[in-house]
Amino acid sequence: MPTGFGWDFRTQYQKCQWENHEYKGRKYKDALYEKVSDNIARITLNRPERRNAFSDGMFNDLGAGLHEANDDPDVRVVIIRGAGTSFGSGHELSSPTEEESPPINPKLNPTGVDYYGLERRRCGKHEDIMNYPKIIIAQVHGYCIGASEIVAQMCDFVIAAEDTQFGVRGFGRFTFGIANWPGFWPGESQKAWCGHLLGEISGKEAADGGMITKAVPFAQLEEETMKWANIVCEMPPQILFFAKEWLNVIADISGISTAWRQHYAEHLMLQYVHFRPEEVSMYKVRRDIGLKGFITSRSAASTPDAEVK
């Protein structure tokens, strides 16, 4: 098992992550690529049995789909959505040890450089989605947790079902740094801050707080998403690239690149955490009572008075 993760990474200054994944002749499996119309491409995250948790295979297929859409001169907007009951439940925590989606297992004895390289690759994917040269719309329903929430937030528009659940108790979105929510960057009003960052919020609450574009009843989700996609297609070519670049530069000027790096470092530091006996340790609990048991006990620990579902 190679542990030299640090030496294998490519930074955003070289090829973007999606350009690393070839699409010619590709049999999409964990994320599916299609053209809805000449100008609209759609990528469907396709591990519904795992609530579209991100495995390495899904990230690779997502990257290939973005690459294909980017190279297609007719495509002006990309929709990302999830198959089944959810948009996505975050990183696949049950992935095989050698995969990069779950946290690195301490058994691999990684160095600090290995950890940092992994975080850079993991978060580089998200950053590259934010800097994607075409417009992306996230069509969100069901669970949208962790890394899936970050992917959705990297998109230019987020259209969600009103009963979407963003985040989960015990995890929220404040845990892993400010880069999770460029939805409020750099506005940072009290409305979007603090209480809304800690636990679960619904699609409706996220829309009311200005953190996503719009929330609609689930039955209208697909139609609403297509409406926005069609509007984007009416805009003059090229201008949206420049307008998006402009807003991203403003985010950069106000410090988002530093926030990403702080995010890598924070993730890395969390790997070195030594749990006290009363604290919930994922590795220990998952080993003892399984992943579901870990998620339940984490929620219970964070909100002990709440009803645990």
CA 122/CA 17 separation, integer angstroms = 10
Which of 43/154 has CB closer to other proteins?
Answer: 154
Question: At which residue do the structure tokens 């490519």 appear?
Answer: 10
Helix locations, 209-281, DSSP H: 221-234, 239-253, 256-271
Rg (CA), the chain: 19
Amino acid at 7: W
Shortest CB 139 distance to other proteins, Å? 15
**What residues contact 146, with CB distance under 8 A and at least 6 apart?**
89, 90, 91, 168, 171
Minimum distance of other proteins from residue 185's CB (angstroms): 5
Shortest Å, Cβ 135 to other proteins = 6
270 is a site residue for other proteins (CB under 8 A): no
Q: Which stretch binds other proteins (CB under 8 A): 118-126, 231-239, 261-269, 287-295?
A: 231-239
Rounded Cα distance between 125 and 148, Å, is 12
Residue 255 as a binder of other proteins (CB under 8 A): the answer is yes
Beta bridge partners of 136: 78
Q: According to DSSP H, which parts of the chain are helical? A: 5-8, 56-71, 112-130, 146-154, 195-198, 203-208, 221-234, 239-253, 256-271, 282-302
Q: Which is nearer to other proteins, 104 or 151 (CB)?
A: 151
- Residue 81, SS3 per DSSP: strand
Interatomic CA distance for residues 49 and 214, integer angstroms: 27
Smallest separation, CB 186 to other proteins (Å): 6
| 177 sits near other proteins (criterion: CB under 8 A) | no
Does residue 186 touch other proteins according to CB under 8 A? yes
* 249 contributes a contact to other proteins by CB under 8 A: yes
Question: What DSSP state is assigned to residue 174?
Answer: T
* Piece of 13-21, 99-107, 226-234, 288-296 that binds other proteins (CB under 8 A): 226-234
Angle between helix axes 112-130 and 256-271 (nearest 10 degrees) is 140
Contact range with other proteins by CB under 8 A, out of 64-72, 118-126, 163-171, 246-254: 246-254
Cα distance between residue 306 and residue 309, in whole Å:
9
| Count of residues of this chain found to bind other proteins when the rule CB under 8 A is applied | 41
Can residue 232 be called a binding residue for other proteins (CB under 8 A)? Answer: yes
Residues in the chain, total: 309
Structure tokens at 11: 């930074």
> Minimum CB separation from other proteins for residue 278, in Å?
38
Token code pair at residue 98:
């050698």
Please report whether residue 231 would count as binding other proteins according to CB under 8 A: yes
Is 207 within 8 Å of 220 (Cβ atoms)? no
Print the binding letters for residues 121-140 with other proteins: x by CB under 8 A, - otherwise.
--------------x-----
Region of 95-103, 119-127, 139-147, 209-217 interacting with other proteins (CB under 8 A): 209-217
- The interface with other proteins within residues 68-127 (CB under 8 A) comprises none
Give residues with Cβ within 8 angstroms of 85, minimum separation 6. 48, 51, 141, 142, 143
294 binding other proteins? (CB under 8 A): no
Instruction: Out of 15, 29, 227, 284, name the contact with other proteins by CB under 8 A.
Output: 227
Select 16 or 232, whichever has its Cβ closest to other proteins. Answer: 232
- The reply on whether position 195 binds other proteins by CB under 8 A is no
Site for other proteins, rule CB under 8 A:
135, 156-158, 182-187, 189, 192, 208, 210-214, 227-228, 231-232, 234-240, 242-247, 249-251, 253-255
